[in-house]
Amino acid sequence: MIRYFLSHKRHIFLFTALFLFLQLSAQTDEQKALESKRARLQEEIAEINSLLSKERQERKSVLVQVEDIDHKIRIRRELIKVTNQQANILNRQLNGNLKRITDLREELTTLKEDYARMIRKSFKSKSQQSRLMFLLSSDNFFQAYKRLQYMKQYTAFRKKQGEQIQEKTLELQELNRELVVQRREKEKLASENREEQKKLEDEKDTQEVLLATIRKNESQYTAEISRKRREARALDRQIERLIREAIAESNRKAGKSANAATFTLTPEARLIATNFEANKGTLIWPVEKGVKNRGYGEYPDPLFPKTVKHFNNGVDILTDKGAKARAVFDGEVLAILAVRNGNKAVQIRHGDYITTYYNLSRIYVKKGDKIKSKQELGEIFTSPSSGKTELKFFVYKNTNRLNPEDWVYRM
């Protein structure tokens, strides 16, 4: 009976310990991921502040200032959201630890009471003579043997109870120490979040002041928005036209139909495409140092968010003045673009994938060059009106637009 009781309690203890370990491990992994994300967002905000402070003296366009503050607000909101998620996980851990401490205290009280009863009972039959009489009073040898086994089990159980009391006391002390650390972490996160919330409110106030300025000259800024949209559409059309022309030329050389919508791949080109695809999510950034200013897809206009929507076919990356665009993967220069009333671009083919690097003031490569990953392609243009050094980066598979954020590491 005692052996069964010991075994049963051990199984319950092991199951509970395993469940708690798995739960804590999952929360710890989630917390680590969120902490890593929070650190990246903090770095991004610092980098944006650094880049924009360099531009501040040269900036003339109020519209550009609105776009910049809108970018900072988006990143700041994401940072606050991540910090809140971390605080929620800490709350769950705190609540879990508090419940565990309550359970442990109850278990410890029960164990101590059981142990005290055993000690009292043991003391009453402490003498060797009492134990001997207990054995000698057996009706037969088998009963004497069973009584001897019972005495051994009782001694082992008492020892086990003492060990469990010690283990649970230590576990309780460790949980109390963890609670102190977790409460400090929670207070730190709450303090940081209050600071970020205040900065966010300040940025929103600044944005409102700028928007009020713009509303006085709404027609002027509406015209500037329209011009930017026309330029973006013209660039998209030119990129896609050059890709279609390259597909037709490549297929014609291969003796295939020039009207096909996809590249006919040689074994070498197929291998490059396979390798490119295998590196989805781990490609290097097209600049050595920079931050994403505008992501892929539809987004509201910062001036007229309810009525005007834009679509970005690539990603916009802010970087330092004089920075160079670099290839994200091995390939071949497909084309050099010279955009009317705009800057230059380099298209690189990676099998049936194409990456495009736009807004270059100088080009270091020519059509047909074999390119290696990290190779510099040209210098990124710095706008004299805004002071911004910004690269537009695109990814295509044949003529199909892809989201670069899915391909570049942590974009």
Instruction: Look at 295 and 63; give whichever has higher pLDDT.
Output: 295
Per the listing, tokens 């597909």 go with: 247
One-letter amino acid at 301 equals D
Give pLDDT, residue 85: 85
Q: What is the pLDDT of residues 14-25, one digit of tens each?
A: 455 555 455 555
pLDDT, residue 222, reads 77
Question: Which DSSP helix (H) or strand (E) runs through 339?
Answer: none
Question: Which amino acid type is present at position 354?
Answer: I
pLDDT digits (tens, 9 = 90+) for 262-313: 999 999 999 999 999 999 999 999 999 998 988 999 988 777 777 778 889 9
DSSP output for 341-390: TS-EEEEEEETTEEEEEEEEEEE---TT-EE-TT-EEEEEPB-TTT--EE
Predicted pLDDT of residue 97: 74
Sign of CA dihedral 130, 131, 134, 135: negative
**Is pLDDT above 50 for 208?**
yes
Report pTM: 0.63
> Residue 409's pLDDT is what?
93
DSSP for 215-262? HHTHHHHHHHHHHHHHHHHHHHHHHHHHHHHHHHHHHHHTTS-TT-SS
Please determine, for residue 77, whether its predicted confidence score (pLDDT) is greater than 60: yes
Long-range contacts of 188-193 (CB under 8 A, 24+ apart): 189/83, 189/86, 189/87, 189/90, 190/87, 192/83, 193/80, 193/83, 193/84, 193/87
| Per-residue pLDDT tens digits for 122-145 | 655 554 445 555 556 666 766 766
Residues 78-129 pLDDT 10s? 888 888 888 888 788 777 777 877 777 787 777 677 767 766 666 555 544 4
Domains in the chain (CATH in brackets) are 2-206 (no CATH), 218-406 (2.70.70.10)
Whether the pLDDT of residue 51 is over 70: the answer is no
pLDDT, position 187: 84
Confidence of residue 5 (pLDDT cuts 50, 70, 90): very low
Average pLDDT over residues 214-230: 77
Mean of all residue pLDDT scores within the chain: 80
For 245-259, how does the pLDDT look when each residue is reduced to its tens digit (9 = 90+)? 999 988 888 888 777
Say what the pLDDT of residue 390 is.
Answer: 93
- In the prediction, which pLDDT does 391 show? 96
Q: d(Cα 258, Cα 237) in Å, to the nearest integer? A: 19
Q: Mean pLDDT, to the nearest integer, of 61-68?
A: 74
